[in-house]
Amino acid sequence: MCDKFNNKSKRYYSLNEFFREKFQKKTFKINLNANFTCPNRDGTISKEGCVFCSASGSGDFGGKKEDDLVTQFHKIKNNIHQKWPEAFYIGYFQANSNTYAPVKQLKEKYEKILKQKNVVGLAIATRADTIDNNVLNYLEKLNKKTFLIVELGLQTIHPATNKLINRGHNLATFEKTVLALNKRNIQVVVHIINGLPYENKKMMLETIEYLNTLPINGIKFHMLYILKNTKLAEIYQKEKFKLLTQKEYIDIICDQINILRSDIVIHRLNSDPNQGDLIAPKWLKNKFELLNKIDETLEKRNIYQGKKE
C-alpha cells in the first residue's frame, strides 16, 4: 500500500482522519437548519427544485427549523457530550442553500453558532450560484478567524443529466465558484451522486476525473435514492429507470477511490435517507453494512485512494 496510507485505519483519506490531524481531538459536525430557502425553489430559477430534493431541502437530519439555532445545536451536542465530554464541534448548516441571504443575515446566523463552547468551525452547504462577491468577501473574513468549509452540490458534470435533474446552473458556474473560493483559501467540499438516471459507470468516473483537475479539498459521495413526495419519485414511477444494486455501487465507489487524488478528504461514502420516506433502493437502510463491504472490497482488490496518480 502507498506510504500515505500505511498508518491510517482506512484505505482512503477519511474525514475522521482529517479532523484528528487538524484538531488532535474527536470532532463532530452538528447538523443545523437555518430556515433558508433556495433559488431553485423560490421561483428565482424554478419552483420545482432539484428532482431528488426532499421537502426539507436535503436537511432531513438537521435540526427542526421551528427551533432557534442555539437550541438545535445543544439538542444534538448534549447527546454527544455524554460520551465525548471534551469533543470539538463544527456547526453544519445543512438544509437548503445556506449562502442564499443578505450578508447581515448570514453573519447573524453563523456567528451565533461560533459563540458556542468548543465550536471550532463551520461547514456551509450551498449552491454555486448563491455566492456573490459580497458573500465571498464575508466568507473570506470568516475563514481568517475560524475553520471554514463550503460544500457545493455538483452531482454530475454531464449536461443532459444536469438538465434532467433540474439542477438550475451549469458546470461553468460551479467551476467559477470553486476557483473563487480557492483563491480566498476557503476549503471546498463537493457533493456528487452516483446512479443518476441513465448515467453509466464511465460517466460517473468522468465526474471524478474532472474534479481531480480542480483545487477542491473534499468530496461527498451519495447513492441516488427515491423519496416519497419528490419529483424524482414521479419520474421513477413513470420511467422505471434502473437503480444501482449494492454490488454495482460498491464497484463504482472503489474505482472512483482508485482514481481520486490522494489529498482530497472523503467526507462520506454513502447516502443516508430518511427511512420512513424511502421508496428505493431498500439496501441503503443498512449503511454500516455498506461501509464495511466497501472496506472489504478495497482490501480484496488492493485499492487505495490515489493509486492511479
Whose CA is closest to 187, among 72, 305, 15, 1? 15
Answer whether residue 309 is part of any domain. no
Tracing cell 460544500 back to the chain, one arrives at 151
pLDDT for the residue numbered 60: 55
- pLDDT values of the chain reduced to their tens digit, one per residue, 309 residues: 555 665 567 999 999 999 999 999 999 999 999 999 888 887 888 777 777 876 654 545 556 777 899 999 999 999 999 999 999 999 999 988 999 999 999 999 999 999 999 999 999 999 999 999 999 999 999 999 999 999 999 999 999 998 888 787 899 999 999 999 999 999 999 999 999 999 999 999 999 999 999 999 999 999 999 898 888 888 888 888 899 999 999 999 999 999 999 999 999 999 888 888 888 899 998 889 999 999 999 999 999 999 877
pLDDT for the residue numbered 199: 94
Angle (nearest 5°) at CA 267 between 262 and 268:
110
Please give the C-alpha separations between residue 157 and each of 204, 206, 208, in angstroms, as whole numbers.
Answer: 9, 8, 9
Neighbours of 270 (CB within 10 A): 18
pLDDT for the residue numbered 87: 95
pLDDT for the residue numbered 6: 59
- Residue 128 per-residue DSSP state: G
pLDDT for the residue numbered 48: 75
Please state, in angstroms and rounded to a whole number, the distance separating the CA atoms of residues 156 and 158.
6
pLDDT for the residue numbered 59: 46
Query: What CATH number corresponds to the domain at position 180?
Result: 3.80.30.30
Answer whether residue 261 is part of any domain. yes
One-letter amino acid at 230 equals T
Q: How many domains does the chain have?
A: 1
- Residue 32's Cβ-side half-sphere holds a number of Cα atoms within 13 Å equal to 28
Give the structural domain span for 114: 3-300
- Residue 282 per-residue DSSP state: G
Answer whether 188's CB lies under 8 Å from 178's CB: yes
Answer whether residue 229 is part of any domain. yes
Answer whether residue 305 is part of any domain. no
Reduced to 3 states, what is the DSSP secondary structure of residue 77? helix
Whose CA is closest to 168, among 90, 53, 17, 23? 53
Answer whether 243's CB lies under 8 Å from 224's CB: yes
Answer whether residue 308 is part of any domain. no
Answer whether residue 189 is part of any domain. yes
Answer whether residue 105 is part of any domain. yes
Answer whether residue 306 is part of any domain. no
